Amino acid sequence: MSSVKLTGSARLPTAWGDFTIYGFAEAPDKEHVALVMGQPDQAEAPLVRVHSECLTGDALFSQRCDCGPQLEAAMQRIGEAGTGVIIYLRQEGRGIGLLNKIRAYGLQDREGADTVEANEALGFAPDARDYGVAADMLRILGVLSFRLLTNNPEKVAGLEQAGLQVLARLPILAGRNPHNHAYLETKAAKFGHQLKAE
């Protein structure tokens, strides 16, 4: 039984080409979207990006993280390929929500905590995400095997555990800057993100 329901779709022209945006509802009140270009359900190894919401990075140009540039890079690569999917998950702050992420940022600023320590100080797991919903959305879209744009091995494992086939992990290195240096180092050291060019 899928935890998400497809609720509608529409054209979404972007700077990188024309996508179709699909709305998904997850009970009780979460809303997710998928951007689809071309016919990834017919393609042999389409590009897929599973992107976790980051309001500060995706919409407000924050340089504390690399989320906005990664999203742009993924849309550009899918535009160049002509086919692919962006699953945009409303798992802000690695699943703790926007307001808790801002509290975690405050602890990092005032107490020198890294992202993991700040989450733990607030009583959260270091990473509270789950990729089952993303897997359900991909299944509804008919995309069962694909190449995944990510540096995060947990994302690959999470989607595979949910029954999908990740044919390859493609690195997505974008948006490194002096403000996110420590954040990226923590991702590599504590979450095993692969951040070296391959």
Active site residue 147: no
Q: How far is CA 56 from CA 4, 35, 52, 142, in A?
A: 26, 20, 12, 31
96 counts as binding ligand GTP under rule CB under 6 A: yes
84 counts as binding ligand GTP under rule CB under 6 A: no
Q: How far is the CB of 125 from ligand GTP (least distance, A)?
A: 10
83 counts as binding ligand GTP under rule CB under 6 A: no
- Contact indicator for 88, 124 with CB cutoff of 8 Å: no
101 counts as binding ligand GTP under rule CB under 6 A: yes
54 counts as binding Zn ion under rule CB under 5 A: yes
Task: Between 32 and 193, name the residue whose CB sits nearer to ligand GTP.
Answer: 193
87 counts as binding Zn ion under rule CB under 5 A: no
Size, binding site for Zn ion by CB under 5 A: 4
Q: How far is the CB of 1 from ligand GTP (least distance, A)?
A: 26
Q: How far is CA 31 from CA 26, 79, 91, 171, 189, in A?
A: 6, 24, 10, 27, 32
Q: Which stretch binds ligand GTP (CB under 6 A): 6-14, 27-35, 50-58, 136-144?
A: 50-58
Q: How far is the CB of 11 from ligand GTP (least distance, A)?
A: 26
103 counts as binding ligand GTP under rule CB under 6 A: no
Give me the half-sphere count of Cα atoms (radius 13 Å) on the Cβ side of residue 83. Answer: 12
Rounded-to-integer distance, Cα 101 and Cα 86, Å? 23
Task: Sheet with 165-170: list strands edge to edge.
Answer: 4-14, 17-26, 30-37, 84-89, 47-52, 145-149, 165-170
Q: Which stretch binds ligand GTP (CB under 6 A): 3-11, 38-46, 47-55, 76-84?
A: 47-55
Kind plus residue range of the DSSP H or E element containing 168: strand 165-170
Of residues 58, 114, 127, 136, which has the active-site annotation? 127
Q: Is 136 helix (H, G, I), strand (E, B) or coil?
A: helix
Contacts with Zn ion by CB under 5 A lie at: 54, 57, 65, 67
As annotated, the active-site residues are: 127, 129
Residue numbering of the annotated binding site for Zn(2+): 54, 65, 67
